[in-house]
């Protein structure tokens, strides 16, 4: 699927008289090279939003000046001291006026069909607590592919995700911060984004939503994640044992019986997946002791998790340079496998 291919599809859809109105919320922190692209993609929507709220979180690189070059009365720029992406999103939520809040990170972009795709989901699945679309991933070197999802509805009409935890444990996250729309009523029930969380604050949010509501998803990529974009927190923050706060939400829900036994297995796999990822990143960053602390949180309940845990534990005793060589070799092998099975290439975490 390529950008713009949905236009003819939406022409066949007859809107009801009940208008759906969007507030678009864009958190901004030092994304001078991406923010113009992001705003352009919003202004190019077939289904136009009512307002575009950009919350500058203390940028120092000229990002704000780029925003001010746009002359559109729907663009509202809010500035605050640097408090993190969750605080910026929450500020945007509180300042918004519409029932439906569509999120876009300042270094990503939408295809012209994105809000139209979300609108279709809202009409078909009004009971959902979030509405998500598939998305493209652009790697360094401008190679683009569709994110690799598992256990999601594949009908182009969309559907409700049968098991959010199973899906995210086996593939890329079916809910992503630049391809999701959340009704205001959802935030009123489960609360806002967690502030003061360094990593995975979005997973914390989606987890709480998944525990309270079904999530609607359509398998049509309508947003692009630019993996090599500037200043991404996931690329510059060295993980620690304290960065998996979303796991406490899951474990509490399991203890309280809100996640049943068959679903709990997938929820634990989800926790393990990100704990292993953090442990691996800590090794590559040279923080081997912290990596071993993170690995203690992994309660491996399947063969794959046990193997990955053992490999990362072994790497944590290697010199940092050797761990880096092993990592780069793995990336090369993954690329070669992706080329052999083109069209089904997995996306790295």
For residues 221 and 136, what is the distance between their CA atoms, to the nearest angstrom? 6
Which residues on adjacent β-strands are paired with residue 145?
137
For residues 215 and 226, what is the distance between their CA atoms, to the nearest angstrom? 24
Do residues 98 and 203 share a domain? yes
Q: Which of 180, 209, 235 is the last residue of a domain?
A: 235
**What total of structural domains would you count in the chain?**
2
For residues 42 and 45, what is the distance between their CA atoms, to the nearest angstrom? 6
Q: What is the DSSP string of 202-219?
A: HHHHHHHHHHHS-EEEES
- In whole angstroms, how large is the CA radius of gyration of the chain? 20
Do residues 231 and 252 share a domain? no
Assigned domain for 56 exists:
yes
Assigned domain for 320 exists:
yes
Do residues 209 and 293 share a domain? no
Do residues 90 and 197 share a domain? yes
Torsion sign, CA atoms 189, 248, 125, 26: positive
Do residues 96 and 156 share a domain? yes
Assigned domain for 346 exists:
no
Q: Which residue has the higher pLDDT, 221 or 309?
A: 221
Whether pLDDT at 156 is above 70: yes
Structure confidence at residue 331 (pLDDT): 57
Q: Which residue has the higher pLDDT, 326 or 333?
A: 326
Alpha helices in 53-198 (DSSP H): 63-67, 85-95, 114-124, 164-170, 184-190
For residues 145 and 342, what is the distance between their CA atoms, to the nearest angstrom? 10
Q: Which domain holds residue 268?
A: 240-337
Beta 223-226 vs 109-110: how paired, if at all?
Answer: antiparallel
Nearest Cα to Cα of residue 231 among 93, 62, 50, 99: 62
Q: Which residue has the higher pLDDT, 185 or 241?
A: 185
Structure confidence at residue 79 (pLDDT): 97
Whether pLDDT at 5 is above 70: no
Tokens encoding 226? 């630019």
Do residues 227 and 265 share a domain? no
Structure confidence at residue 133 (pLDDT): 98
Whether pLDDT at 181 is above 90: yes
Alpha helices in 125-200 (DSSP H): 164-170, 184-190
Structure confidence at residue 250 (pLDDT): 96
φ and ψ of 223, to 5 deg? -145, 160
Structure confidence at residue 343 (pLDDT): 42
Structure confidence at residue 14 (pLDDT): 37
Assigned domain for 345 exists:
no
**In the structure, what pLDDT confidence band is assigned to residue 253 with cuts at 50, 70 and 90?**
very high
**In the structure, what pLDDT confidence band is assigned to residue 230 with cuts at 50, 70 and 90?**
low
Q: Which of 202, 235, 268 is the last residue of a domain?
A: 235
Domain CATH code at residue 116: 3.90.550.10
Report the length, in residues, of the chain: 349
Do residues 172 and 44 share a domain? yes
Whether pLDDT at 188 is above 70: yes
Do residues 198 and 263 share a domain? no
Q: Which residue has the higher pLDDT, 100 or 13?
A: 100
Q: Which of 188, 219, 235 is the last residue of a domain?
A: 235
Do residues 220 and 261 share a domain? no
Q: What is the mean pLDDT of residues 278-306?
A: 84
Write out pLDDT tens, residues 13-40. Answer: 433 447 899 999 999 999 999 999 999 9
Whether pLDDT at 345 is above 80: no
Do residues 288 and 184 share a domain? no
Assigned domain for 60 exists:
yes
Assigned domain for 348 exists:
no
Assigned domain for 72 exists:
yes
Q: What is the mean pLDDT of residues 103-108?
A: 97
Tokens encoding 86? 């969750």
Number of H helices, E strands in the chain: 14, 12
Do residues 139 and 158 share a domain? yes
Assigned domain for 83 exists:
yes
Do residues 55 and 151 share a domain? yes
Q: What is the pTM of this model?
A: 0.84
């Amino acid at each position: 699927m390529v950008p713009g291919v949905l236009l003819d599809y939406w022409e066949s859809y007859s809107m009801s008289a009940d208008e759906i109105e969007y507030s678009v919320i864009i958190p901004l922190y030092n994304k001078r090279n991406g923010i113009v692209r992001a705003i352009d993609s919003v202004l190019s929507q077939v289904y136009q939003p009512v307002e575009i709220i950009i919350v500058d979180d203390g940028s120092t690189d000229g990002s704000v000046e780029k925003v001010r070059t746009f002359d559109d009365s729907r663009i509202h720029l809010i500035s605050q001291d640097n408090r993190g992406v969750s605080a910026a999103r929450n500020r945007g939520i509180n300042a918004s006026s519409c029932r439906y809040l569509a999120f876009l990170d300042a270094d990503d972009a939408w295809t012209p069909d994105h809000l139209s795709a979300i609108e279709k989901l809202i009409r078909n699945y009004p009971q959902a607590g979030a509405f998500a679309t598939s998305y493209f991933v652009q790697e360094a070197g401008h190679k683009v592919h569709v994110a690799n999802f598992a256990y999601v509805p594949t009908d182009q009409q969309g559907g409700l995700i049968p098991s959010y935890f199973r899906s995210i444990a086996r593939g890329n996250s079916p809910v992503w911060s630049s391809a999701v729309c959340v009704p205001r009523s959802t935030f009123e029930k489960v609360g806002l984004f967690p502030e003061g969380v360094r990593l995975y604050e979005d997973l914390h949010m989606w987890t709480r939503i998944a525990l309270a509501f079904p999530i609607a998803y359509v398998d049509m990529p309508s947003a692009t994640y630019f993996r090599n974009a500037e200043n991404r927190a996931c690329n510059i923050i060295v993980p620690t044992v304290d960065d998996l706060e979303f796991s406490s939400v899951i474990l509490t829900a399991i203890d309280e019986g809100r996640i049943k036994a068959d679903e709990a297995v997938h929820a634990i796999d989800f926790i393990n997946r990100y704990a292993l990822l953090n442990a691996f990143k800590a090794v590559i960053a040279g923080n081997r002791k912290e990596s071993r602390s993170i690995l203690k949180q992994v309660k491996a309940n399947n063969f794959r998790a046990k193997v990955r845990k053992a490999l990362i534990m072994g790497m944590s005793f290697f010199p940092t340079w050797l761990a880096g060589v092993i990592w780069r070799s793995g990336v090369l092998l993954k690329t070669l496998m992706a080329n052999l099975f083109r069209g089904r290439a997995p996306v790295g975490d």
